[in-house]
């Protein structure tokens, strides 16, 4: 199965910044418990999707942020 890239550069940068913020919030203790765990999982997903430039949700809605 080939994954066609569907994320543009700006989208990838925004996701990486959001992931960094989530990680900082979690490890500084500003967010903990279930919400902290959810944010940490989201951060991992954001980093992975940014690395491969592919978002599975975009394919469901036939979206692309690539130029």
What pTM value is reported for the model? 0.89
DSSP 8-state symbol, 11? H
* Distance between CA atoms of residues 1 and 54, nearest Å: 13
Within 13 A of 36's CA, how many CA atoms are on the CB side? Answer: 10
By the 8 A CB rule, do 49 and 7 touch? yes
| Residue range 2-26, pLDDT digits in tens | 788 999 999 999 999 999 999 999 9
Mean pLDDT value across residues 34-59: 96
- What are the two backbone dihedrals, phi and then psi, of residue 42, each rounded to the nearest 5 degrees? -60, -40
- Tell the residue number behind the tokens 């902290």, with chain if given: 36
Mean pLDDT value across residues 28-34: 97
């Amino acid at each position: 199965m080939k994954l066609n890239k569907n994320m543009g550069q700006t989208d990838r940068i925004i996701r990486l910044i959001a992931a960094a913020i989530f990680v900082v919030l979690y490890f500084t203790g500003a967010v903990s418990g279930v919400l902290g765990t959810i944010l940490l999982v989201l951060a991992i997903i954001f980093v992975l999707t940014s690395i491969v430039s592919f978002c599975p949700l975009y394919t469901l809605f036939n979206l692309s942020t690539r130029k």
